[in-house]
Amino acid sequence: GWKDAINITIINFNYEKMQITWAARELFPNKNVSFSYTFDEGKDKVWKPCTTYLLDQGYNSGCLFKTEGPTLGISIRNNNGSKELFSKKLKSDFYIKPNRPENVTFFWKEDTVTVSCNKPERAVKCLRLELQYKSTLDKGWQSRTSTCCSVGDQGFDPRKCYSFRVRLKRLVPYCNVVNYSSDWEAETFWMNGTLLDSCDDITSQSNTVIVLSCSLAVLLMMLILLVLLCKWQRLQKSVMPAIPDPKCIFADLINDHNGNLQEWLDKTDHTVLQTKLEYEEPECIIEAGSQQEDEKNSDKQGPLEKIFTFSGTAENSDLKATQLACLLPASNTITSFAGFQILMNDDMYVTI
């Protein structure tokens, strides 16, 4: 009973090689053991010693040998082979681990993907083809299983990049007593039916597009804000014009005249009068005559001729009245002369 209680691991690699392993340090501490096997039955059994041992810290922990038949007998003995420590008879076909799928192909049709591979030479009915896939947005793998040797699924987004991997599995318990599967076929990357080297390139391109889009959006927003700010300043100037600073207007009053208002006014009036005289057209003459002569001249000149009579200025009240005869345009006009304003139109003259 103790001999059958030893826990061993048995793997038949696709009907080609057998691997038997045991826990050497736990089962046989500080002892080395020998291993032998046979595929024969009956009285003519021929035991073959192990030629390829698997070691664990220098102690024999397993044996690797060629598969030669469906029925296998194994025996573990002490180092010199004089005492049997463990023996077992088993069906090697119940411990098969299949090879990876061969010639895997992908077929895309709209949102449906079908994956297929070549059929193995033996026990196809005991095999299942498993497909696993995930997109760049998925955290874990999604799995689909079908009979050998084609499996498919639908609902794939053509805008996403997917990772695919496939493997073969043995049916349990009809074909295997242990749930063995093949190693995964090399992982491939697909996007809308196109084979890619990696999904990382697509992710980096997407990130670059996102960064560029955000940058362009920020620049556009800044441009719009600048345009709105300029328009707002223009609108503000048109609605609420800026009030001039009195310091600039009366700079000469403060700087040149030390705040003396009368002196500044006298100088300002003199300057205005001189400027007016310099730029006035020499069309006006001063005449001393009777009103009849003025009326005759007025009749001759027509409606464009206006006569203005000015009284003397406030500084010289003894000056005589003076008449100014001017040829002026036929329109309302305001003229400043020696601090006085004269309003002229087509039908009247004003004497001040």
CA 65 to chain centre: 57
* Domain at 8-97: CATH code: 2.60.40.10
What is the spatial distance between Cα 2 and Cα 75, in angstroms, rounded to a whole number?
14
The DSSP-derived string for 34-87 is: EEEEE---GGG---EE-SSEEEETTEEEEEEEE---SEEEEEEEETTSSSEEEE
C-alpha distance from residue 185 to each of 104, 125, 130, 172, 234 (Å):
8, 20, 11, 21, 70
- The pair of structure tokens assigned to 122 is 């033996």
pLDDT of 335 reads 47
At 15 the three-state DSSP class reads coil
Task: Write the single-letter amino acid at 170.
Answer: R
Asked if 48 and 36 count as a contact pair (C-beta separation under 8 A), the reply is yes
What is the spatial distance between Cα 119 and Cα 107, in angstroms, rounded to a whole number?
17
**Burial letters 62-90, b for 16+ CB under 10 A, else e:** bbbbebeeeebbbbbbeeeeeeebbeeeb
pLDDT of 127 reads 94
| Helix (H) or strand (E) run with residue 2 in it | none
* Domain at 105-201: CATH code: 2.60.40.10
Query: Could you check whether 8-97 and 105-201 share the same CATH topology?
Result: yes
φ, ψ of residue 191 to 5 degrees: the values are: -145, 110
Taking only the tens of pLDDT, the chain with its 352 residues reads 445 567 899 999 999 999 999 988 888 888 899 999 999 887 778 999 999 999 988 899 999 999 999 999 999 998 888 888 888 999 999 999 999 999 999 998 888 999 999 999 888 999 999 999 999 888 899 999 999 999 999 889 888 899 999 999 999 988 999 999 999 999 999 888 888 888 886 644 555 667 678 888 888 888 888 888 888 777 776 776 666 665 566 666 666 767 676 776 777 665 554 555 455 555 544 444 445 555 545 554 444 444 444 444 444 434 333 333 343 444 444 444 444 444 444 444 444 4
Asked if 113 and 158 count as a contact pair (C-beta separation under 8 A), the reply is no
Domain locations in the chain? 8-97, 105-201
pLDDT of 339 reads 45
